[in-house]
Amino acid sequence: MRDVAIIGIGMTKFGEIWEKSFRDLVAEAGAEAIHDAGIEGAEIDAMYIGGMSTGRFIGQEHLGPLAIEVAGLEELHIPSTRIEASGASGGVALHQAYLAVASEAYDIVVVGGAEKMTDVIEMEATEILSSVADREWEAFFGATFPSLYAMMARYHMHKHGTTNEQMAKVAVKNHANATLNPKAQFRREISVEAVLNSPMVAEPLHVLDCSPMTDGAAAVVLAPMEKAKDYCDKPIKIIASEQASDTLSLHGRKRFDSIPASMEAANKAYKKAGIKPSDIDVAEVHDCFTIAEIMAIEDLGFVKKGEGGKAMDDGLTELKGEIPVNTSGGLKARGHPIGATGIAQANEIVLQLRQEAGERQVKDARIGLIHNVGGAGGTAVVHILEEI
């Protein structure tokens, strides 16, 4: 297996983007990444695109050839594959592309992710999202993703003493980071009081504990490390890429205060990279709900199990903290166009390792981690990147 690098990134603004179609978003992100990589269309060997449920959000399936068409590359007949893994669709697409380049099947691969979620009403979007939980044993009985994560939150609170205020601090931190990200959906600060006073969605989770419905797209370009500097001055090496699975249902798990697949993917990634959690300088983790970030920093080994809430009190994950987490604003404030999320996370970590993140730059960041989760934890992907 050969070493793989990210040589180009691109991303649209995230939000409720009424004026642009799904095609427009895919084209914009892809073109930006290709331009950033300094490659020509004829050099692309393959494409992968993550998308969770475009068939229901916009009535469009078969995204592989759509991505080729909007890029104007149809006459080259480049193989293009759509990847679906719920909220981890983008992360799994990146993992598959990494394996393709590492195995020498392809040299230059473009990886994208996109979703347009706001073209349906909120009730319909919630129902669509429930389709990636256990349809027969959870969604059929009314369980939504907020209610599934609310159960995890309540259990975490019972077992470890985590508080509503500590969960609210996750949202406050990520909104503060998003004010420094020009492509974020919510570029405004909020307070702990605002979170706690926002309407209840599924006790103990309030509206401001939850990530939003979002439109957007993101893309990256991969190349063999040995060729990467032929294209760009600052290639970012992927030193580990690992995926793990678990039960589709939450009720089938043996524990409810963590995402076991995240722990497995992270442990494999650390071993592959030859590093420890303490070596990570910056991380983008899957904060679909505030409790998810607290569990993530525990599952990834940044703090011990049960100490995620205390880490929020101590400012451990703030921009100038010991381990800055979700410098982009995270899913909570940057936005969560599901198929694009894992690729947007990669965009942020690349910017950080290139020292190009502007006001939200983490000083001397050299190693970054990306953590992307599908559903209530049925899929988890961890990538570790390093500035060479």
* Residues 106-135, mean pLDDT to the nearest whole number: 91
Query: What is 60-76 written as a DSSP string?
Result: ---HHHHHHHHTT-GGG
Q: Tell me where in the chain the CATH 3.40.47.10 domain(s) lie.
A: 4-121+214-236, 142-211+239-387
Query: CA-CA distance, 327 to 283, in Å (whole number)?
Result: 8
144 DSSP β-pair partners: none
pLDDT at 152: 98
Q: In this structure, which topology does domain 4-121+214-236 adopt according to CATH?
A: Peroxisomal Thiolase; Chain A, domain 1 (3.40.47)
> Do 251 and 375 contact (CB within 8 A), yes or no?
no
- Please determine, for residue 151, whether its predicted confidence score (pLDDT) is greater than 90: yes
- Please determine, for residue 121, whether its predicted confidence score (pLDDT) is greater than 90: no
pLDDT tens digit sequence for 212-237: 999 999 999 999 999 999 999 899 99
pLDDT tens digit sequence for 307-351: 999 999 999 999 999 999 999 999 999 999 999 999 999 999 999
- Please determine, for residue 38, whether its predicted confidence score (pLDDT) is greater than 90: yes
> Do 172 and 164 contact (CB within 8 A), yes or no?
no
For 142-211+239-387, CATH number?
3.40.47.10
pLDDT at 122: 81
pLDDT at 129: 86
> Do 259 and 40 contact (CB within 8 A), yes or no?
no
pLDDT at 132: 87
Question: pTM value?
Answer: 0.97
- Please determine, for residue 61, whether its predicted confidence score (pLDDT) is greater than 90: yes
**Residue 148 CB neighbours (<10 A):** 24
Query: CA-CA distance, 117 to 227, in Å (whole number)?
Result: 37
* Residues 17-27, mean pLDDT to the nearest whole number: 97
- Please determine, for residue 133, whether its predicted confidence score (pLDDT) is greater than 90: no
Element (H or E) spanning 123, and its range?
helix 122-129
pLDDT tens digit sequence for 64-119: 999 999 999 999 999 999 999 999 999 999 999 999 999 999 999 999 999 999 99
- Please determine, for residue 126, whether its predicted confidence score (pLDDT) is greater than 90: no
Mean pLDDT of the chain: 96
* Residues 190-205, mean pLDDT to the nearest whole number: 98
Query: CA-CA distance, 282 to 300, in Å (whole number)?
Result: 12
- Please determine, for residue 63, whether its predicted confidence score (pLDDT) is greater than 90: yes
- Please determine, for residue 125, whether its predicted confidence score (pLDDT) is greater than 90: no
pLDDT at 130: 86
Residue 233 amino acid letter: D
What does the angle CA 2 – CA 284 – CA 247 come to, to the nearest 5 degrees? 80
* Residues 234-257, mean pLDDT to the nearest whole number: 96
- Please determine, for residue 127, whether its predicted confidence score (pLDDT) is greater than 90: no
> Do 33 and 232 contact (CB within 8 A), yes or no?
no
pLDDT at 194: 98
pLDDT at 228: 95
Percent of the chain with pLDDT over 90: 93
pLDDT at 50: 98
pLDDT at 204: 98
